[in-house]
Structure 1
């Protein structure tokens, strides 16, 4: 079994996934526009180039997302996408990039369980936790 978060965007999925790829070094596996899908005839006006489904490999996990139709989009809340990072310097680099243009909820810092831990909401509205645990 594999758990894969699915993020819902309001027309910014392609920009968000390109940004996440830059920040994390992930690999975009799928970027399917509404107009190139079997649902093209059901696409809201002006929404054809928006993303129906995106899929990215991040380490050994998968992050997915898409642009929900304008009448169905709801802002993301009540969860966080958590990145487990082994090196503090890498945690600092990724946190800083994700935080650019976003809102830092907890600055990246040392905690009792982690060499670095921080929380933010990025410029696309995705909540993140960056965690660099202490070695056992």
Structure 2
């Protein structure tokens, strides 16, 4: 069994994917636009506005993990509450690099610092509203 996060960017999925490519080295494994779907959206689940170029489904790899993402209903109002993506890296230098990159345009909620459980830990909300926890592998 596998659990993978599925993020709904509500119209900003492509922008988010490009951001994560730069910030955390994400690599796209699959990307399908609504126009490429063999079937129209299910009645009642149609995205808002001009959605044909929007992303119906994508998956991208960050390290050993896969994140799925979509433009969803293309509402322009994404909401990521009640969870964080936790990114564990191998060194303090890597933690700093990834933390700083994800923080661009976002908000730091806990600066990256030494804690009782690891040499680097910090929390932030990126510019898309996704909450992140960055930490190094405990030594």
- Aligned pairs, number: 135
Tell me which residue corresponds to 1:57: 61
Taking the aligned partners of 1:12 and 1:52, their CA distance within structure 2 comes to 12
Tell me which residue corresponds to 1:20: 20
**Which structure's residues are more often strand, by fraction?**
1
Alignment TM-score, normalising by the size of structure 2: 0.88
What is the correspondence of 1:1-136 to structure 2 with a 5 Å cutoff? 1-40=1-40, 44-70=48-74, 74-135=78-139
Q: Which consecutive residues of structure 1, in runs of 5 or more, have no partner in the other structure?
A: none
Alpha-carbon contact 1:11-1:50 (below 8 Å) kept? yes
Alpha-carbon contact 2:7-2:68 (below 8 Å) kept? yes
Q: Report the CA distance between 1:26 and its aligned residue.
A: 2.2
1:53-88 superposed Cα distances (whole Å, 9 cap, x missing partner): 110111111011101114596511000011010111
Q: Which consecutive residues of structure 2, in runs of 5 or more, have no partner in the other structure?
A: none
CA RMSD of aligned residues (A): 1.8
Taking the aligned partners of 1:81 and 1:75, their CA distance within structure 2 comes to 14
Alignment TM-score, normalising by the size of structure 1: 0.90
Taking the aligned partners of 2:47 and 2:102, their CA distance within structure 1 comes to 31
Taking the aligned partners of 2:78 and 2:19, their CA distance within structure 1 comes to 21
Deviates more, 1:71-80 or 1:103-112: 71-80
Deviates more, 1:75-84 or 1:19-28: 19-28
Deviates more, 1:111-120 or 1:30-39: 30-39
Q: Cα–Cα, structure 1 residues 28 and 77, in superposed 2: closer, same or farther, change >3 Å?
A: same
Deviates more, 1:111-120 or 1:40-49: 40-49
